[in-house]
A and B are shown apart, each in its own frame.
Chain A
Amino acid sequence: MINKVVENAEVAVRDIPDNAVLMLGGFGLSGIPENCINAILKKGIKGLTCISNNAGVDDFGIGLLLKSRQVKKMISSYVGENAEFERQLLSGELEVELIPQGTLAERCRAGGAGIPAFFTPAGYGTEVAEGKEVREFDGKKYLMEHWLKADFSIVKAWKGDTSGNLIYRGTARNFNPMMAAAGKITIAEVEELVSPGELDPNHIHTPGIYVQRIFQGKNYEKRIEQKTITKAS
């Protein structure tokens, strides 16, 4: 099997240049590539375009890269939990493109699957439709949306093997599989890295063909945004 293992996050992100277009997996703070975000922060590259459903919080996730002014543009569906984000947006330091969540997911999927455009009803009749081709199918109006691709896709999985096969856990899967397929170079960080044969092929979510670099991450914080509990009776 092809060995794609790199030593750590620093090595995995070593050649990401200024002004790169990145996809970063995760929904809220769940399933985000914590190790790579920290390595990008340390590396100090600037002018990044980040495609990610959310923008982290002030002191965690992509919020860290916003604080250090490394992000030029965010492409997201919801960015509501971040005060520094709001400040930079209002002052014009940060560009933002907001995309309906399902359209964002499908644009990433299309990028990885070689589909340049598709039609979706989401956003028809709204400001999202401005400048987009509208077409009618069976009496209903749809917008044409284009694929999204990234110079580097950075994803987080639960388990992976040395040839890049990935398994996600719970709702931490979210955008990770589509983004893994839509990167020219895809970096996967995993909680547990195993040898080929240790993962059941029946259970693989992302086949290794999409992944160029993989490493076992460390010190996962896996922060929770809204801890909500039921009192034990």
Chain B
Amino acid sequence: MLDKIGIAKRIAQEVRDGMYINLGIGIPTLVANYIPKALNVVLQSENGLLGIGPFPTEENVDADLINAGKQTITMMPGSSLFSSAESFGMIRGGHVDLTILGAMEVSEAGDIANWKVPGKMVKGMGGAMDLVASAKNIIVAMQHCSKDGASKLLKQCTLPITGLKCVKKIVTDLAVLDVIPEGGFKLLERAPGVSVDEIRKATEGKLIVSGEIPEIKF
């Protein structure tokens, strides 16, 4: 099984040189720590920055520089700042290469639910609906099952939908899977020590297994 850092490290392997990337809140934010230093990538913050840098030192904290999670940040050399309309223009226009976000549920068609749980306080969708509707490549970081053991990789989402047919790849604590265009989760890799059978039991939606499934390598 992978912990949160393991999931982040595995997703970091999907990053390619020259990418513009939007990272969601939670595990996706951790991915930034594991992108190989040799790759030149630019991180987008949807409140209006291309070029997110590391968290500031105490003396460099600036209330005018925050990320979409409202954390204080710094800017990399060569950054650019813009309005929220410009920011979502570049998202909607398909200029961001990779979007990494969390999910509560994903369906075998690639539908994602990650903004609202009936009966709980509704906090709002923020930029999630805009991101999933327009991103060219979406990788989801999530737990394979809920705390009570119910699968979160489903035939159909049960929670309110954030976007339809948009998820391309999923990295969970148990596995790496592609959502294929004709529907279904294609198993690509197993987390260390996890069997195909365990993944099958934890996946309610259609699981496609062909040939030997390798373990994730770091």
**A residues adjacent to B (C-beta < 8 A):** 27-31, 53, 76-81, 86, 89-90, 96, 98, 100-106, 108-109, 120-128, 158, 169-178, 205, 222-232
Contacts and interface: CB of A to CB of B under 8 A. Distances in A.
A1 to B, nearest CB: 25
B48 A171 contact: yes
Given A77-B124, A80-B123, A120-B133, 6 more contacts: A30-B63, A98-B125, A102-B130, A124-B133, A170-B49, A171-B67
Nearest to A225: B70
Contact of B72 (A108, A174, A226): A226
Contacts of A105: 83-85, 87-88
Contacts of A222: 63-64
B19 interface: no
A126 B160 contact: yes
B194 interface: no
B43 to A, nearest CB: 13
A128 B162 CA distance: 9
Contacts of A177: 83, 85
Contact of B64 (A170, A205, A230): A170
B72 A227 contact: yes
Contacts of B130: 100-103, 120, 122
Contacts of A31: 64
A122 B63 contact: no
Given A80-B124, A222-B63, A109 B92 contact: no
A101 B88 contact: yes
Interface centre among A30, A79, A106 (most CB of B within 10 A): A30
B39 interface: no
Nearest to A230: B55
Contacts, number: 174
Contacts of A123: 129, 133
B117 to A, nearest CB: 13
Contacts of A172: 63-64
19 contacts: A27-B84, A80-B123, A86-B121, A100-B129, A101-B88, A101-B127, A101-B130, A102-B91, A102-B92, A105-B85, A124-B133, A126-B129, A126-B163, A127-B160, A171-B66, A174-B47, A224-B66, A226-B69, A229-B57
Interface in B35-83: 45-49, 54-58, 61-67, 69-73, 81-83
Task: Decide if the interface of chain B is mainly helix, strand, loop or mixed.
Answer: loop
Nearest to A128: B129
Nearest to A83: B121
Contacts of B128: 100
A228 B71 contact: yes
B56 to A, nearest CB: 6
A106 B88 CA distance: 8
Contact of A108 (B65, B67, B85): B85
B54 A230 contact: yes
Contacts of B99: none
Contacts of A127: 160-161
Given A80-B124, A171-B49, A125 B161 contact: yes
B72 A224 contact: yes
Interface string B77-107: 0000111110111011000000000000000
A171 B129 contact: no
A32 to B, nearest CB: 10
A31 B47 CA distance: 11
A114 to B, nearest CB: 15
